[in-house]
Amino acid sequence: MDNIRFIALQTAMCRTQKSVSFPDKKASEYFGELTFNEPAMREYLTEEAFQKVMNAIEKGIKIDRGIADQVAAGIKSWAINNGATHYTHWFLPLTGATAEKHDAFIDPVEGGEGIEKFRGIELTQQEPDASSFPSGGIRSTFEARGYTAWDPTSPAFIMDRTLCIPTVFVSYTGEALDYKTPLLKALYAIDKAAVDVCQYFDKDITKVFATLGWEQEYFLVDEALFQARPDLMLTGRTLFGHSSAKDQQLEDHYFGTIPQRAMAFMQEFELEAHRLGVPVKTRHNEVAPNQFECAPVFEEANLSVDHNQLLMHLLEKIAKRHHFTVLLHEKPFAGVNGSGKHSNWSLKTNSGENLLSPGRTPKSNLRFLTFLVNTVKAVYEHADLIRAIIASPGNDHRLGGNEAPPAIVSAFIGAQLTQLLNMIETSTKKVRIDSNGDTELLKDFPKIPEILLDNTDRNRTSPFAFTGDKFEFRAVGSSHTCAPAMITINLIVADQLMKFKKDVDALIGKKVRKDNAIFQVLKKYIKESKPIRFEGNNYSEEWVTEAAKRGLSNHNNTPDALKAMTSKKTVRLFADNNVLSERELEARYEIKLEHYTKKIQIESRVLGDLSMNHIIPIAIKYQNTLIDNVKGLKQVLDYQTYGKLSHNQMETITEISEHVDKIKTFVHKMIEARKVANRIDDIVEKSHTYCKQVYPFFSEIRTHVDKLEMLVDDELWPLPKYRELLFMR
Ligand code: ADP
Ligand code: MG
């Protein structure tokens, strides 16, 4: 067979830009048309059913069986009128992907005819045979039943002529087997805790929503080139590849003109996203060549998590139509930027106010400071957990890579707010109460809105940065679901707010005036959580030293980082708030370790196979042509000239042998290390062994393969090179 790389290159070069067929409607006319949104509900549900669903969405009130039947009938008519033939419960198992099992609406009836059926029970609950989903030992195979149950807060939608119903997924014994279950519980916790604290400031606040706006980064490569790289296909990243002479050093890709082929792809996925109600808003080129970003308008966190999941699915699906493969991996290419999923988080009240947005009055500023300081304190208390939930083999390459947040968790709030917190920390003033009983406390400090207007200072290196009216959690990996990040942030802040309320109430009980009590507790928290605040360059070496002095952890690999998932502190946090039990946490920990181990195992196998079957044979083939050449020279030249002219070839022949030898030795050693690791039963030990004994061979082997890439005749090299993968074709 001819060199597959050239076949792929030829295919990629002949691509023409696919045209997108735009609907002849305005975006506002097709936005959300494939979701069972409020207008659809009004049209297809009885008034009673509509109210009950709205109550379930807004107040979490359960929908009874009779109403469920009515809702099901409405959804069915809507779905069928919009072309759906099947339905499925759509859930987020612990694989991190989405899962679905489709059933047809059609049911045969006597006389050989069929009718579409969909009852309340099929809407609200299903029992998929779930034995093949990871459960971390929670569900033994003899009790393989798992249940999915409807989540009315995330609207059903139609994709590929299938009605998709977002659901939670739990085991027969009631344990969570998915991300949505603990997410909904964490969101409930933050709602309750934040409302309780808001009551100090405003009695009209009865509901608090967490908001999430993610920013999804990804790479695009031509599908033919992707398929010519077994490492990309099997592991999602390149295990080899010499850097391209030009990549991102000229900084000419970021915000540059979007290539036409990529633009057509974006227009098409945005169109589909909008029809599904996913409010994608911005698109741009990212730092690395062929790297892009898409971000929506923020939404309520549970919906936003589902929408990100849906978007990742759309990206992959629509990319195929354009003969692209989308790479969601955190680090598909060494040496250029990796991809993240910045998760912007804030809290919004029923009256639409942002609790992390400073207000105009001293009172609302005290509220703002309350939420800001409690968030920072929560991050301080649970930094290790935050590090744990973003740990993955893909993110290990990215974190601390001088382009992404480091593995040390810290929070940035900007110079002016830092100054303000420092002033509060050292203030000896008491709160002054004006004639209306309002606090004048903060009148002594600089006005916060003015500070923030000025505050253009954005620290791009911080993993958790306050950016004016929200926190931006930047360490989430591009392929991850946002759910763990949202479970964790909301839960730790909820837990912290509850402690805050307790502390404040205790002081009030001792006859301290409310505002004074709040101020005193904040002051204490500001002091206690100081070590987590860092305004400097998170990529610097000095920070590593400084963070160690402050007692902050720095776990630079997944197995180490994951330990915090079952620490005493974490178990207490999740159990006290009824989000996950210790057993459920342990199961999740185990699943993460298994996942890590399997990923490294697969990468190691691919690396070994490619080295032995692709790289070494080609290197030897090229070496043979050099040997033939030397032999030929010897025949046609006199001894002296031959000695002079064959020198270069001889050198290359030797170098090739040296690299081949090294590759073989390291591959052999890596396989031996793998055998040892595979014999270990304990998953904690096994994952650490993979990390410490197997993984280090990757870079050793890669170094020599990449050297060979530079030596071997370009016409023979079998794998598409970085310069071919990274520039749009
Ligand atoms: P960048 O971080 O690239 O400078 P922006 O700050 O404008 O961009 O916003 C990035 C993301 O932050 C968007 O996805 C947006 O929806 C989200 N965002 C903005 N405000 C909030 C908020 N109050 N809560 C959650 N996400 C928000
Ligand atoms: Mg951002």
Residue 498 has pLDDT above 50, yes or no: yes
CA of 457 to the centre of ligand 2 (A): 13
Which residue's CA is the closest to the ligand 1 atom numbered 1? 215
Residue 456 has pLDDT above 50, yes or no: no
Question: Among all ligands shown, which has an atom nearest to the Cα of 212?
Answer: 1
pLDDT of residue 415: 86
What are 672-681's contacts with CB under 8 Å, separation 24+?
A: 673/697, 674/601, 674/604, 677/597, 677/601, 678/601
Mutate to test the pocket of ligand 1, among 208, 211, 282, 298 (most ligand atoms within 8 A of CB): 298
In this prediction, residue 1 has a pLDDT band, given cuts at 50, 70 and 90, of: low
Residue 618 has pLDDT above 80, yes or no: yes
CA of 472 to the centre of ligand 2 (A): 7
pLDDT of residue 403: 72
Write out pLDDT tens, residues 96-118. Answer: 888 888 999 999 988 889 999 99
CA of 339 to the centre of ligand 1 (A): 17
Neighbours of ion ligand 2 (CB under 5 A): 342
CA of 292 to the centre of ligand 2 (A): 13
Whether residue 310 contacts residue 342, with contact meaning beta carbons closer than 8 Å, is answered with: no
Write out pLDDT tens, residues 560-611. Answer: 999 999 999 999 999 999 999 999 999 999 999 999 999 999 999 999 999 9
Give me the residue label for tokens 């968030």: 375
For the residues 662-689, what does the mean pLDDT come to? Answer: 97
pLDDT over 70 for what percent of the chain? 94
Residues 6+ apart with CB under 8 A from 458: 414, 465, 467
pLDDT of residue 45: 96
In this prediction, residue 62 has a pLDDT band, given cuts at 50, 70 and 90, of: confident
pLDDT of residue 25: 94
Rounded Cα distance, 217 and 109, in Å: 49
Which residue's CA is the closest to the ligand 1 atom numbered 3? 215
Question: Among all ligands shown, which has an atom nearest to the Cα of 467?
Answer: 1
* Mean pLDDT across the chain: 91
For the residues 15-32, what does the mean pLDDT come to? Answer: 91
Q: Which atom of ligand 1 is nearest to the CA of 215?
A: 14
pLDDT of residue 258: 87
CA of 421 to the centre of ligand 1 (A): 24
DSSP labels, 398-446? HTTSSSS--SS--EE--HHHHHHHHHHHH--PPPPB-TTS-B-GGGGS-
CA of 293 to the centre of ligand 1 (A): 13
Residue 442 has pLDDT above 70, yes or no: no
Minimum mean pLDDT range among 161-170, 252-261, 580-589? 252-261
Give 537 or 436, the one with higher predicted confidence. 537
Which residue's CA is the closest to the ligand 1 atom numbered 6? 467
Residue 398 has pLDDT above 70, yes or no: yes
pLDDT of residue 144: 63
DSSP labels, 59-110? H-PPPPHHHHHHHHHHHHHHHHHTT--EEEEEE-BTTSS-EEEEEESEEEET
CATH class label, 187-580: alpha beta
Minimum mean pLDDT range among 213-227, 540-554, 688-702? 540-554
Write out pLDDT tens, residues 636-672. Answer: 999 999 988 899 999 999 999 999 999 999 999 999 9
CA of 310 to the centre of ligand 2 (A): 20
Give the global pTM. 0.95
Identify the three-state secondary structure at position 154. Answer: coil
CA of 339 to the centre of ligand 2 (A): 12
Residue 242 has pLDDT above 70, yes or no: yes
Q: Span 595-725: which CATH code?
A: 1.20.120.1560
The structure tokens listed for 479 are 């392929």
pLDDT of residue 360: 73
pLDDT of residue 452: 61
For the residues 611-631, what does the mean pLDDT come to? Answer: 97
Which residue's CA is the closest to the ligand 1 atom numbered 2? 472
For the residues 625-636, what does the mean pLDDT come to? Answer: 95
Superfamily name with CATH number, domain 31-178 = Glutamine synthetase, N-terminal domain (3.10.20.70)
Residue 437 has pLDDT above 50, yes or no: no
Domain ranges of the chain: 31-178, 187-580, 595-725
Residues with CB under 6 A from ligand 1: 211-213, 215, 295-298, 344-346, 354, 467, 469-470, 472
The Cβ-side half-sphere exposure at 220, using a 13 Å CA radius, reads: 31
pLDDT over 90 for what percent of the chain? 76
Mutate to test the pocket of ligand 1, among 208, 278, 282, 344 (most ligand atoms within 8 A of CB): 344
Residue 246 has pLDDT above 90, yes or no: no
Burial bucket for residue 81 (CB in 10 Å: 0-12, 13-18, 19+): exposed
Question: Among all ligands shown, which has an atom nearest to the Cα of 296?
Answer: 1
Residue 2 has pLDDT above 70, yes or no: yes
Question: Among all ligands shown, which has an atom nearest to the Cα of 342?
Answer: 2
Sign of CA dihedral 528, 378, 571, 400: negative
CA of 327 to the centre of ligand 1 (A): 23
In this prediction, residue 402 has a pLDDT band, given cuts at 50, 70 and 90, of: low
